[in-house]
Amino acid sequence: MKILVIFCVLCSACVNCQLAPFIEPCHAKDTACLKRSSQKAVGVVAQGVPSLGIQRLDPLHVENVDASKSGLILHFRKTVVKGLKHCKVLDIGRPKSHETFVTLLCPNVELVGEYNLGGKLLFMDIRGQGKYRIKLREIRVTVVMQVGERSYNGERYWTVDSWKHHSDATKPVHYQFQNLFDGNKEMSKTIHQVANQNWHQIYEEVAPPIVKAITAHVVAEIAKLFQHVPIRQLALD
């Protein structure tokens, strides 16, 4: 009989335990609560939450990104992204029952990895392969997720059915590509001067695919949170 009582107590504790104690459940219209809760979650999720299957996001590893377009071949490989844990939540909301959005401002994000480049970038003929480094002093990203629901063992869970995003560099970006033109220092210097003077145009040309890849990794980890934590522990309505 004593064993049965202990078993019932443990089952009750499990039902009521918080699987994600770093999340503060909020009402959909309580913007202050939503921002406070999500900001705390940014720092925790960025470090990874093994109990929920959430992988570390800072640093984040992105294996391959094809950023090629008409007239330009550009591949990024073995990219390591650092700085996502410092992102600030500017705005967040659930304007519809099936939609959630968040706007983040991320300072000092750095990407390092390998590249392969050839063709025309803006008005410049360019080619090279080797190591690269991109320093984003400040980037603003908005992600809109279409959210569904599923039921399991009497609990309701959110699902990420689809998503879209928009990003913009709001402060100068610094680009560094090693071994341009087979190591020609003068040509490389000229290209870097033009690229860093026209940092926003270069960002719009080459950054969207890799920012999308980074965002996809982040959304995938958020989906894991939704997969493991029932709605009642994430929201009050």
Domains of the chain: 24-233 (3.15.10.30)
Q: Please give the Cα distance from 218 to 61 (Å, whole number).
A: 11
pTM assigned to the model = 0.89
Average pLDDT over residues 105-132: 95
Phi and psi angles of residue 32, each rounded to the nearest 5 degrees, phi first: -60, -45
Asked whether residue 3 carries a pLDDT value surpassing 60, the answer given is: no
Question: Could you report the per-residue pLDDT of 7-39, keeping only the tens digit for each?
Answer: 333 333 344 468 999 999 999 999 999 999 999
Q: What's residue 94's pLDDT?
A: 87
Average pLDDT over residues 114-122: 93
Q: What's residue 17's pLDDT?
A: 60
Question: Could you report the per-residue pLDDT of 78-92, keeping only the tens digit for each?
Answer: 999 999 999 999 999
Residue 232: which of 162, 147, 158 has the closest Cα? 158
Q: Please give the Cα distance from 98 to 149 (Å, whole number).
A: 9
